[in-house]
Amino acid sequence: MKSFEGDFYKLLALLRGHKPFAFNRFSDGELYILQNKELILDADQVKVGENITEGIYKTEDFKRFHPEEHSFYRDRLVDAFKFTKRNYFNGLSCRCCVGDENFQWQLDFHGEYDENFTWANLLVNGNYPKFIHEMYPVFYEYPTVFVCNEKADLSVLPFLVKDFRVGYNAMVQDYGLIEVIRSWISENNVEGHLFLFSASSFSKIAIHQLYDYCDRNTYIDVGTTLNPFMDMRIDRTYLKSFWLGERGKDINKICIW
């Protein structure tokens, strides 16, 4: 039976053993794009399909997906979601976060059960303290590349050897950066590096294409986990609970399969 904690330690063992892998994660935003629903996340409104609520998102989190206009990028996200390869771990939105129907939709859409399916939330919620205390220190063992928002301050991360920046709605606006990174890997014979991604839906497409191109590096979608080190907002409940001591259920949440 799958274990939220057990899957975390599976990835940690690979990382500690310097065995290359990719951890990609498809959260609710990517789920809606995969379902080809219009998605708008900005300061004015939040729209998922026909459902519209008041906007709450800051500039770095803005995301807009229109099914007709952005079909090419949705297709690339589908490629990333359905990709299978040794040590390519595909994090799904779990049933306790998106409901049974959406969880089952992901399995049906993929078409076959992959033994490397895991949780999109694997590094957060109840596993976040383990991520900070046990996984984060291992990053110092690697020459590390960070793909993140242009507003991030990386000055307190001494293990970084390179960074690549994205801006607003990166899946669409910065898609060409994938080829830039791929060329950098090729031209510099980059192997044994750790690539961290905190670039929303762009991360999913980039991790797929880069791991497919060169599986001698490790690629991890860290999401918002390192925001406190990057002078970025820590408004997620699990971050506020861990770093600010605020009460919140997410920091103790063990997501179910």
> Going by DSSP bridges, is the β-strand pair 39-41/45-48 parallel, antiparallel, or unpaired?
antiparallel
Q: How large is the average pLDDT for residues 225-252?
A: 94
What is the reported pLDDT for 59?
59
Buried b (16+ CB within 10 A) or exposed e, 143-178: ebbbbbbeebeeeebeebeeebbbebbbbbebbebb
Residue 44: is its pLDDT beyond 60? no
Residue 57: is its pLDDT beyond 70? no
In the chain, where are the structural domains located?
4-35+84-252
Q: How large is the average pLDDT for residues 189-199?
A: 98
Residue 50: is its pLDDT beyond 60? no
Closest Cα to residue 230, out of 160, 155, 159, 162?
155
Residues 87, 19: contact at Cβ < 8 Å?
yes
What is the reported pLDDT for 43?
47
Distance (Å, rounded) from C-alpha 22 to C-alpha 160?
A: 18
What is the reported pLDDT for 53?
58
What is the reported pLDDT for 42?
64
Percentage above 90 pLDDT, the chain: 85
Q: How large is the average pLDDT for residues 184-192?
A: 98
Residues 160, 229: contact at Cβ < 8 Å?
no
By CB neighbour count within 10 A (0-12 exposed, 13-18 middle, 19+ buried), where does 39 fall?
A: buried
Name the average pLDDT for the chain.
Answer: 93
Q: How large is the average pLDDT for residues 11-32?
A: 97
DSSP the chain: ---HHHHHHHHHHHHHTT---EEEE--HHHHHHHTT--EEESSSEEEETTEEEE----GGG-EEE-TTTTHHHHHHHHHHHH---TTEEEEEPPHHHHHHHHHHHHHHHH-S--TTEEETTTTSGGGHHHIIIIIGGGGGGS-EEEEEETT---TT-TTEEEEEEE-TTHHHHTTTHHHHHHHHHHHTT--S-EEEEE-HHHHHHHHHHHHHH-TTSEEEE-TTTTGGGTT----SHHHHHHHH----GGGG-----
pLDDT tens digits for range 110-125: 998 889 999 999 999 9
Distance (Å, rounded) from C-alpha 217 to C-alpha 17?
A: 13
Please, which pLDDT band fits residue 55 given cuts at 50, 70 and 90? Answer: very low
Buried b (16+ CB within 10 A) or exposed e, 77-99: bbebbebeeeebbbbbbbbbbbe
pLDDT tens digits for range 115-171: 999 999 999 999 999 999 999 999 999 999 999 999 999 999 999 999 999 998 999
Residues 233, 110: contact at Cβ < 8 Å?
no
Percentage above 70 pLDDT, the chain: 92
pLDDT tens digits for range 64-111: 899 999 999 999 999 999 999 999 999 999 999 999 999 999 999 999
